Amino acid sequence: MNQKRLKQRISNFLTGEYFTDALRITLSIITPAGVLFALGLAQPAIGVTLGALLIALTDLRGTIEDKRTTTTVSILLFFLVSLISIAALPYPWLMGAVFFLITLGCSMLTAYGSRLSMAGTAAIVLMIFIWGLNPTDYWFCLYLLMGGLWYYAISLLHLWLWPERYLRYAISEALLTTHNYLQVKALFYDTDLTLKDCYNQAILSHTRVSEAQQQLRSILLRDKAVMHQDNRTGQVLLHVAEKTIDLYEQITAIHYDYDFIRNQFAITGALDLIQQMIRLLAADMLHVSEMKPFSTRPQQGTQTDRQLTQLTARFEYLIKKENDSNAAILSQLLANLKSIYADIQEIDHTLRNETNVIIPAKTQVEYQHFAPFEKLEWKQLVSHFKISSPIFRFSLRLAVTCLFCYLLAQVFVLGKYSYWILITVVVIIKPAFSLTRQRNIQRLTGTLLGIVLALVLLYFVTNTAILLVFAAVFLLVYFTFNRTHHLVSVIALTPMVISIVYLYGNSGWGFVLERIYDTLIGCAIAFGATYLFPSWESSRMLFLCRELLKSNLHYLEKLDDALSGKPMNVTAYKLARKSVYLGQANLSQSFQRMLREPGNKAIVSEYMYHFQMLNHMLSAHIASLFRSLSMQDNADPFADRNRVKAVRDVLFQSLLLLDPSPREATPDDSENRLSESLHLSPEEYKDPFFSLKTIGGQIRLCCLELRTVLA
């Protein structure tokens, strides 16, 4: 990495969302703590600091309405939980019942999404801290309330000063993940890599793109102020967001039969030129994604114009040397690359000239249909109170485990800070087995490394003020990496806690030893609890495969409508595209989690990989055909509609094969298997509709095998 790039990365980190948020959160927490401790108000200082800290844990990226709703619910929930917990403290049997019921109820908030899920987790942590700290009166509830209101005021001020801040970061992240996907696309032209590895990387990269796009939709489309027609900045950012999502479709549309491309152009030098051009486009996207959100002056544009011009000239020279058939393929690919470059330049120009850029007129889209559903309704929560619900099973698992840990602490003398066992359990246990196991490893590793760091710090630093500064720095690091690198955040959290307890708890070095065995006990209990009311990913595979096939069928219907000459319904088309992207991401995420489950529960089948790859190819081909239609490139719409109908019929048959009800193999299964596995000629490969039919047939054969595997 050159020096310029290193400086750029450091600058991006220091001005990025995670560090600046962490700095604000840390200052919001330590400021009231420092003032109150300086005034000799130790109990209020602990209560206010804890209240601010817990509200900060729920402060996720979102609109001002999101933050207002989450913070209001959290403050009221924390106040109620603290009242109930303090009232139950003198009665161990009642406290046990409170542990179970509050843990169960707060965990069920996962039904409302990640925001209220974090609020529920923070409420459980608060209950555990109250049990461990054992406050003497109800004033502690008021201190918690004051801490929450203090942090809420700071958060609102921050959003008032920079209302579009999170939206800009969401756009940046969507561009960055699309840049990563574009880099993966370059690998398909590298003959040293297998196509299977390339497709696996593309599917994983697509999942990250889909997550970023969904986050962008959530922040943009549900922000009434930004979406208002009179908000010029909002309309500019809406245009950029649309172009960013459309750009991803354009990138997926660069799809061919890569076996054919590799064999046909391996010795011409075309593959190397394509790789270089794609990587230069990716470099441009990276540059655009790294624009400073608060810059008040136009920044320098992209830097690859000259290089791309030279590579384009060389590519055009190669095209002239090819025969007509191959020249047509390369010309189409070059046209796609130029179109991607034009879109990147438009996004770059728009972001650098927000105040005077002219937003082009476009077809009206009904944006409300794209916003993720986030409503707080009782029926949404009540519907999950059944044993078949993964959320209820997770909540029951966590509640039983917390009650077990509480009873364990009542029966055995585990130490002064035994409540850290419960904290460890709550932090580690997640709805999915794979996430729990991953958190278990990260928690154990991070705690042990953090303890080593704390021991070194306490050995060499004896000054109280310096130790407090280090504790603040560790808290800053914790919040910086809490959402992105859990291991790093745990490493930072451990010495921070040890330093504070060492200074104000008069615990001496014995606390360090207790922290080690508390973590070991908590990790062991959390790991054992993963087998309690489990919800295995393998049980969802059949459903997710069917949902993805349904989405691709719907996407094909929109292609058929376009071929029929009907006016394009942009909203319906983009909704179909979104459904396919989310279906691919959901299946990929679930499959990756399943691979980390116990061997006897995971379905490790080559056909699952193949099914994902084929559906990825199918959606890419459909996107490519939509692009061709937009350029009026269809010569025979009637014949093309018939071929699309044939593919839809094959996909519908595939859907029936994955029907969960028992079904015997039909007599023509083997015949279809034989006919659809024949090799295709080069001329057939060049016909996109024939390739579409071929992929459809392969999906059907794959479903024949999956029917047995997933039964």
pTM over the 0.85 mark = yes
- Give dist(CA 298, CA 447) in Å, integer: 45
Is residue 9 assigned to a domain? Answer: no
Residues 527 and 543 in one domain: no
Q: Give Cα separations from 649 to 416, 559, 700 (angstroms).
A: 68, 14, 10
Which residue type does 561 have? D
Residues 312 and 420 in one domain: no
Which ranges constitute the DSSP H helices of 530-605?
541-563, 570-595
The total domain count for the chain is 4
Is residue 112 assigned to a domain? Answer: yes
**Rounded CA Rg of the chain:** 28
End position of a domain, from candidates 141, 162, 183? 162
Residues 504 and 398 in one domain: yes
Q: What is the mean pLDDT of each run of 10 residues along the chain (711 residues)?
A: 74 84 92 87 87 90 84 92 93 93 94 89 92 85 92 88 87 94 93 90 93 91 83 88 91 77 86 92 88 52 75 89 84 88 90 80 72 75 88 94 91 77 90 86 90 88 86 93 89 87 66 82 90 86 92 91 82 91 93 82 78 91 80 62 86 87 48 40 58 86 84 63
Residues 429 and 514 in one domain: yes
Residues 328 and 460 in one domain: no
End position of a domain, from candidates 162, 186, 214? 162
State the CATH number of the domain containing residue 330. Answer: 1.20.58
Residues 22 and 108 in one domain: yes
Residues 524 and 546 in one domain: no
Q: What was the pLDDT predicted at 183?
A: 94
Give the dihedral sign, CA 382/383/387/390: negative
Residues 585 and 655 in one domain: yes
Neighbouring residues of 379: CB distance < 8 A, sequence distance ≥ 6: none
Q: What was the pLDDT predicted at 436?
A: 87
Is residue 229 assigned to a domain? Answer: yes
Is residue 204 assigned to a domain? Answer: yes
Q: Give Cα separations from 110 to 113, 384, 674 (angstroms).
A: 5, 10, 48
- Give dist(CA 97, CA 110) in Å, integer: 21
Is residue 705 assigned to a domain? Answer: yes
Is residue 380 assigned to a domain? Answer: no
**DSSP letter string over 220-270?**
HHT-HHHHSTT-HHHHHHHHHHHHHHHHHHHHHT----HHHHHHHHTTTSH
285 in Cβ contact with 293 (< 8 Å): no
Residues 153 and 172 in one domain: no
Nearest Cα residue to 125 out of 24, 50, 66 = 50
Residues 423 and 456 in one domain: yes
Residues 424 and 571 in one domain: no
Residues 585 and 642 in one domain: yes
44 in Cβ contact with 36 (< 8 Å): yes
Is residue 57 assigned to a domain? Answer: yes
Is residue 370 assigned to a domain? Answer: no
End position of a domain, from candidates 470, 505, 531? 531
- Give dist(CA 644, CA 108) in Å, integer: 45
With left for phi above 0 and alpha for psi between -120 and 50, is residue 40 left, alpha or beta?
left
Q: Which residue has the tokens 């999915």?
A: 432
3-state helix, strand, coil in the chain (%, to 5): 75, 0, 25
- Which domain, by its residues, includes 93? 16-162
